[in-house]
Amino acid sequence: MRKYCEQCGKETETKVVSKRESYNVCGELIEVDAQVLVCSECGEEFFCEELDNATLVSAYNEYRRKHKLLLPEEIRKIREQYGLSQRSFAKLLNWGDKTICRYENGSIQDKAHNSILLFLREPENMRTYLTENEVALDEKQIRRILKTIEKLEENKEFRAGHRIFNLFFSNVPCEENGFKGFDYDKFCAMVLFFAHTSGELLKTKLMKLLNYSDMLFYKENGISISGMKYVHFPYGPVPDNFEILLGKMQADHIAHIEITCDNGYEKHQIIPERDIPLDEFSEEELKVLQRVYDKFAHFGSVEISEYSHKEKGYTSTKPGEIISYAYAKEIELDK
Ligand SMILES: [Zn+2]
């Protein structure tokens, strides 16, 4: 940008330089790195409204950081998470009509106000505030906020559950998961496919069917279907942390286990609770699932266990070890 420089007495090129500046914020001197427009020949400073405003904002933010005050953006988020307008939020807090509006637009809030806002950031605290306080909102509005709080708390639990889930199931593709991050939806779809296709499906057989499907697909395509890791167990390969998955599938109403007694033996039967989400699968994936199903259709749990015990991946690993997809090349389903 060219500007007329008084100092040079002519129009010159300008540039932006960084400079340490002090600002008075609420009676306190705050130092910030200011961006200033100067004449590129003599260094004379020009007034530039945008840069000046930006510096002022960063001085205010520096002051907030120093005194641990919420940023305007954070105040807006607290209000919005409860679905409140600036005016209703101020009313709820018994503050002046424009107070929230001013804070969100950059005015520095006083300490007492900041503490209340910080407290109300937690939905649980907002519930206490609403129910154990005389609040200047009508009944209908209060009920609506309480409902929003319920939803927020559900989401929080959901996110916490999700974090735990991610601890157990890796999202990073590697040889142990068939070069695919674990895909819960796909895994559930596979379980539903086998549960619906088989008349009666026992847990032990399901684990083998899943293992063969992932391994065979990997052998032919270089990637697994579900991204599941399989572990060497006494009775064959088993999906890693299978019990956690079954618990989650039951909680999500996808499928559950029904235990019945059969001649003194416990039978763990898979009961599907949803239809097969066919659009989860590619054509190739479906074909592999169907081939695996057909191959073992008349195998009982014991027979399929014995069959899988002969696989190279199983004989080459010790109990408790992950069976790498590298062994998939040895699988011969059609022999
Ligand atoms: Zn100049």
Name every residue whose Cβ is closer than 8 Å to that of residue 46 and which is 6 or more positions away in sequence. 3, 5, 14, 36, 37, 38, 39
Question: Cα of 35 to ligand 1 centre, how many Å?
Answer: 18
The residue assigned the tokens 């500046």 is: 21
Q: What is the pLDDT of residues 180-199, one digit of tens each?
A: 989 999 999 999 999 999 98
Rounded-to-integer distance, Cα 296 and Cα 275, Å: 22
Question: Cα of 17 to ligand 1 centre, how many Å?
Answer: 14
Q: What is the pLDDT of residues 317-329, one digit of tens each?
A: 999 999 999 999 9
The DSSP H or E segment spanning 245 is helix 242-251
For the beta carbon of residue 190, count every other beta carbon within 10 angstroms: 25
Question: Cα of 19 to ligand 1 centre, how many Å?
Answer: 18
pLDDT for the residue numbered 297: 93
Question: Cα of 33 to ligand 1 centre, how many Å?
Answer: 22
In this prediction, the residues of the chain whose per-residue pLDDT falls under 50 are: none
What is the DSSP track for 73-101? HHHHHHHHHTT--HHHHHHHTT--TTHHH
- As a dihedral over the C-alpha atoms of residue 183, residue 186, residue 191, residue 197, rounded to 10 degrees, the angle is -160
pLDDT for the residue numbered 37: 94
pLDDT for the residue numbered 291: 96
Rounded-to-integer distance, Cα 88 and Cα 85, Å: 5
Question: Cα of 103 to ligand 1 centre, how many Å?
Answer: 40
Question: Cα of 46 to ligand 1 centre, how many Å?
Answer: 10
Question: Cα of 57 to ligand 1 centre, how many Å?
Answer: 28
Query: Measured at the alpha carbon of residue 30, what is the angle toward residues 24 and 36, in degrees to the nearest 5?
Result: 85
Domains of the chain: 2-66 (3.10.20), 72-164 (no CATH), 175-330 (no CATH)
pLDDT for the residue numbered 173: 87
- Structure-block tokens of residue 265: 């033996």
pLDDT for the residue numbered 133: 84
Question: Cα of 34 to ligand 1 centre, how many Å?
Answer: 20
pLDDT for the residue numbered 335: 57
Question: Which is it for the CA torsion 161, 165, 166, 171, positive or negative?
Answer: negative
Rounded-to-integer distance, Cα 191 and Cα 184, Å: 11
